[in-house]
Amino acid sequence: MNKILLILKREYTTRVQKKSFIILTLLMPVIMAALMFLPAYFMSMNDEQQRTIAVYDGSSVFLGRLESSNLTAYKFIPKDEYIALKKDIKQSSYYALLVIEPNFLTTKTVQIASGSNIPWDLKSQIQNKIQSILEKDKMAEVVRQTAIPDLEKKIESTKTPIKLETIKVGSNGDSQKSSTEIGMILGYIFGFMIYMFIFLYGTMVMQGVMEEKQSRIVEVIISSVKPFQLMMGKIIGIALVGLTQFALWVVLGIAIFGFSKNFYPDHSRKQQIQNVMEQKQDVVMQDSSEPPTDKIQELISMTDSVNFPLIIGCFIFFFLGGYLLYSSMFAAVGSAIDAQEDAQQFMLPITLPIILSIMVMMSAIKNPEGSMAFWFSMIPFTSPIVMMSRIPFGVPAWQLILSMSLLVATFIGMVWVTARIYRTGILMYGKKPSWRELGKWLTYKS
């Protein structure tokens, strides 16, 4: 036992001190945060280009009615100027030429021509303006014809945006506000993290075993310790490296999350985001009782309802269980081969269930109670990833316990099998063994 500790300590300290570990650990949350927050930040940045758009209105419906905003000015031009401008819009001082044909009211189509690409924002802004003018005209016509007083206001008041709240009802009848979106996001993140950790640290185990075999230090070491101790010391040591990395990510994640919580409700930024949202949305939406920023706030506040201690506890369990299961197989592969190139043949049966898990996970986060999600979260080879993706949605206790027990039983069995391959493999040099030979190694007396 003491010797496993020594081995574990060496495996742990040499890896944690590596520059690559420190860089990856610090950089990962920053990259993740950047991926999540940069698009929001860019969206909130205003389009600050001054533009003048020439408008030729053949239908005369809009003459003087396209109001210039502070950045975009509309200038109505007569037909002769339009004909001249049509040919060389690029050389003119106008940014674009908006053409409304005389038969606009039947075609309902306008054209905009420009020398450059028209931003999506501007395009939808123009579209909205024209649409709302038309709607107003039609409304006025209806009001005039029916002659009902205050009809306009009455119709306006029929527009009622609604909100759908999903409530999770517990067995004892208490209910909690839940969010399917949050569940999906967390399920995806945690499932994917297990996948990444199993691969990252599983191959680290394999490389470590191969390093010992290639440098021939293994014979020196196993004259001091049992091969099983060496294998377990390595596997557990590397597991602790993974847990350390995860713990650091949680701490950094909380720090970044805490920072971003303060970041969104900030008033001036809120205003900016609102501006952007308004430009994009239907002008009518302006009257909506709920400003869009609240959605982001709501999303953040909803994370409060997530049972993070349970998720993190389960994550640690399923990470360890999945990792132990797979890393012992990776260790056996590393022991059986002499060179990295030989790894492929033995890697395939290990990587297949991991990749299958990721595919099942994608559908499990959409339908976490489905039978596919259920069965794959029970099978030990796929359960760490699939079950982890289901947990944020809430999983019945019996399923969780069954899945965990199956996983524990399987990895104990797997460690027993792989340790037997390992102790023979590390001393075998030369020819790459066949599957049959690996099978025979199981029966060797230690």
Among 259, 263, 416, 444, binds other proteins (CB under 8 A): 444
2 Cα distance to chain centroid: 42
Which is nearer to other proteins, 3 or 75 (by Cβ)? 3
* Residue 5 to residue 166: CA distance in whole angstroms: 49
Report d(CA 44, CA 275) in Å as an integer: 8
Nearer of residues 14 and 111 to other proteins, judged by Cβ = 14
Question: Which has the closest alpha carbon to 227: 36, 404, 422?
Answer: 422
| Nearest alpha carbon to residue 142 among 130, 132, 155 | 155
H-assigned helices in 264-339: 267-280, 293-302, 308-336
Looking at the Cβ atoms of 69 and 224, the one nearer to other proteins is 224
If the CB atoms of residues 15 and 129 are measured against other proteins, the closer one turns out to be 15
Judged by beta carbon, residue 93 or residue 443, the one nearer other proteins is 443
Distances (CA, A) of 161 to 13, 287, 292: 58, 10, 12
Q: Which residues pair with 178 in a beta bridge?
A: 166
- Judged by CB under 8 A, the chain residues 216 through 275 that form the site for other proteins are 216-217, 219-227
Listing from the earlier edge strand, what are the strands of the sheet with 111-114? 72-76, 51-57, 96-100, 111-114
Among 27, 372, 427, 442, binds other proteins (CB under 8 A): 427
The residue (of 220 and 372) whose beta carbon lies closer to other proteins is 220
Residues contacting 156, CB < 8 A, separation 6+: 287
Q: Pick left, alpha or beta for residue 339 (phi over 0 → left; psi -120 to 50 → alpha; otherwise beta).
A: beta
Main-chain phi, psi angles of 97, to 5 degrees: -120, 120
According to CB under 8 A, which residues from 8 to 47 bind other proteins?
Answer: 10, 14
DSSP code, position 117: P
Q: How far is the CB of 241 from other proteins (least distance, A)?
A: 16
* Residues from 346 through 365 that contact other proteins (CB under 8 A): none
In whole angstroms, how close is the CB of 204 to other proteins at the nearest point? 14
When the beta carbons of 223 and 289 are compared against other proteins, the nearer one is 223
- Of 66 and 231, which has the nearer Cβ to other proteins? 231
- Of 146 and 223, nearer to other proteins (C-beta) is 223
Give me the least distance between CB of 389 and other proteins, in Å please: 37
Answer for the pair 42, 84: CB distance below 8 angstroms, yes or no. Answer: no
Which pair of tokens denotes residue 349? 């049966």
| Helix residue ranges per DSSP H, 70-179 | 79-87, 104-107, 120-146, 151-158
Shortest separation between residue 219's beta carbon and other proteins, angstroms: 4
Could you tell me which residues are beta bridge partners of residue 75? 54
Identify the residue among 150, 156, 181, 211 touching other proteins (CB under 8 A): 211
User: Of 215, 262, 286, 289, which one interacts with other proteins (CB under 8 A)?
Assistant: 215
- Using the CB atoms, write b or e for 269-289: b if 16+ within 10 Å: ebebbeebbbbeeeeebeeee
Number of residues assigned to the chain: 446
The answer to whether the beta carbons of residues 221 and 347 sit under 8 Å apart is no
To the nearest whole angstrom, how small is the minimum distance from the Cβ of residue 209 to other proteins? 13
From the list 87, 163, 267, 445, which residue makes contact with other proteins (rule: CB under 8 A)?
Answer: 445
Nearer of residues 10 and 177 to other proteins, judged by Cβ: 10
Number of residues that bind other proteins (CB under 8 A): 27
Q: How far is the CB of 248 from other proteins (least distance, A)?
A: 23
Least separation, in Å, of the C-beta of 439 and other proteins?
A: 11
Q: Which of 3, 65, 168, 280 binds other proteins (CB under 8 A)?
A: 3
> In which element (H, E) is residue 29 found?
helix 19-44
412 binds other proteins (CB under 8 A): no
Give the interface with other proteins as residue ranges (CB under 8 A).
3, 6-7, 10, 14, 211-212, 214-217, 219-227, 427, 429, 437, 440, 444-446
